[in-house]
Amino acid sequence: MNSNNNEVYDYFNRPLRDLRISVTDKCNFRCTYCMPAEIFGPDYPFLKKSQLLSYEEIERLTKVFVHSLGVQKIRITGGEPLMRKDLPQLIEKINKIKGVEDIAMTTNGSLLPKFATSLKSAGLKRVSISLDSLQDEVFGKINGRDVSVKTVLDGIDAAEQAGLKVKINMVVKRGMNEQEILPMAKYFKDKGHILRFIEFMDVGNTNKWNLKDVYSKKEIIQDIHEVMPLEAIDPNYTGEVATRYRYKGSNEEIGVISSVSDAFCSTCNRARLSANGMLYTCLFSSKGHDLREPIRSDATDEQLTDLVEKIWFKRKDRYSLDRSESSTTRKKIEMSHIGG
């Protein structure tokens, strides 16, 4: 199963390259498509501190993934990752691991004015900041907490000023914010930030997903192309999740992550580690594999490597390619546990 020292391949010959680490299942937003407020209320059983992997445990697992399993890129996510105390300390630990080629983070941006500088000093290179509208009325409803657009724009400014590379993520859902596609495209083209549109996905079981609510890649591109002509461009690397387009006659680009209308499972090289140490081999997995128990019962690095190798070797996930009515309703892990 090891073709080349530290590379592992799954059942469909896909290598393991990216590790997405969720550091908390908590969030200060209640986005309707991710953590609907009526379900993630005051009584929701969020993870307790003792259930979370400590930074030392995350560091140890990351070393195993990078040194023995072929992982090159790390993305920190949540819930909202900046809700976890002292996050720059974790970034610093990961940044010191030899072989980590890239560390990025996905965040709702609200806490970046407080943390951007220390994150950059700790070694963070890039942030993807989520924003679904430029209108307070629309955005406040989506984020479920009436958070203003300015709060996120201030976060974007703080990230830029700290020297972090910034991309913007916008989830598009029919009837929620498709009218915001064009204003967002224009705004971030002028700012010089890459905007990535994400089709509304059937992650978890709480967001009332329905195929009819998916505003597809084709529709998104058409809306923009009619006003600001686009041309397709090649992916930067194999396994890139976003399909890239450039505004004709410029270097500004956008991306579309089309998990529903145009699946990209054939090149999916991502594993996901939840805040409580469960390994998920697909965003739509029903169950994870516990890595916290072995790490807390003194498993050696070799034993951890062997465990993950076996899991990856058997991996047959290609949920988006096979999506059907029955699969969308089966039990799946929530987005706020594994972070997208």
Contact of residue 133 among ligand SAM, ligand SF4, none (CB under 5-8 Å per partner type) = none
Site string for ligand SAM, 14-33 (x = CB under 6 A): -------------x-----x
Where on the chain is the footprint of ligand SF4 (CB under 6 A)? 27, 29-31, 34-35, 78-80, 108, 130, 259, 264-265, 268, 282-284, 317-320, 336
Q: Which of 8, 19, 34, 181 is in the footprint of ligand SAM by CB under 6 A?
A: 34
CA dihedral 221, 227, 231, 234 (to 10 degrees): -50
151 binds, among ligand SAM, ligand SF4, none (CB under 5 to 8 A by kind): none
3-state secondary structure string, 261-290?
CCCCHHHCCEEEECCCCEEECCCCCCCCEE
Rounded to an integer, what is the distance from CA 280 to the centroid of its chain?
Answer: 13
Helix (H) or strand (E) holding 119: helix 112-122
Closest-CA residue to 257 (of 238, 242, 235)? 242
Q: Which among ligand SAM, ligand SF4, none contacts residue 284 (Cβ within 5 to 8 A by kind)?
A: ligand SF4
Q: How far is the CB of 337 from ligand SF4 (least distance, A)?
A: 10
71 binds ligand SAM, rule: CB under 6 A: no
Among 24, 77, 258, 285, binds ligand SAM (CB under 6 A): 77
Q: What are phi and psi of 7, to 5 degrees?
A: -105, 140
Helices 217-225 & 181-191 angle (0-180, nearest 10): 70
**What is the nearest approach in angstroms of ligand SAM to the Cβ of residue 115?**
13
Rounded to whole angstroms, what are the CA distances from 318 to 187, 315, 323, 324, 333? Answer: 35, 9, 9, 12, 15
E runs forming strands in the chain: 18-22, 73-77, 102-107, 126-130, 165-172, 194-199, 230-233, 243-247, 253-257, 270-273, 278-280, 289-290
Judged by beta carbon, residue 29 or residue 200, the one nearer ligand SF4 is 29
Question: Candidates 75-83, 159-167, 183-191, 283-291 — which segment interacts with ligand SAM by CB under 6 A?
Answer: 75-83
Give the sheet arrangement for strand 253-257, strand by strand.
230-233, 243-247, 253-257, 194-199, 165-172, 126-130, 102-107, 73-77, 18-22, 270-273, 278-280, 289-290
One symbol per residue from 163 to 202: x for binding ligand SAM (CB under 6 A), - otherwise; what is it?
------x-x--------------------------x-xx-
Give whichever of 273 and 283 is closer to ligand SF4, judged by the CB atom: 283
* Residue (298 or 325) nearer to ligand SF4, CB: 325
Query: Which one, 44 or 227, has the nearer CB to ligand SF4?
Result: 44
Asked if 259 contacts 248 with a C-beta cutoff of 8 angstroms, the reply is no
Residue 264 contact among ligand SAM, ligand SF4, none, beta carbon within 5 to 8 Å by kind: ligand SF4
Closer CB to ligand SAM, 128 or 281, in the complex: 128
Is the distance from CB of 60 to CB of 21 less than 8 angstroms? no
Looking at the Cβ atoms of 67 and 174, the one nearer to ligand SAM is 174
| Coil/strand/helix, residue 250 | coil
Residue closest to ligand SAM, measured at CB:
340
> Which residues of the shown chain bind ligand SAM in the complex (CB under 6 A)?
27, 33-34, 77-78, 80, 106-108, 130, 169, 171, 198, 200-201, 203, 207, 335-336, 339-340
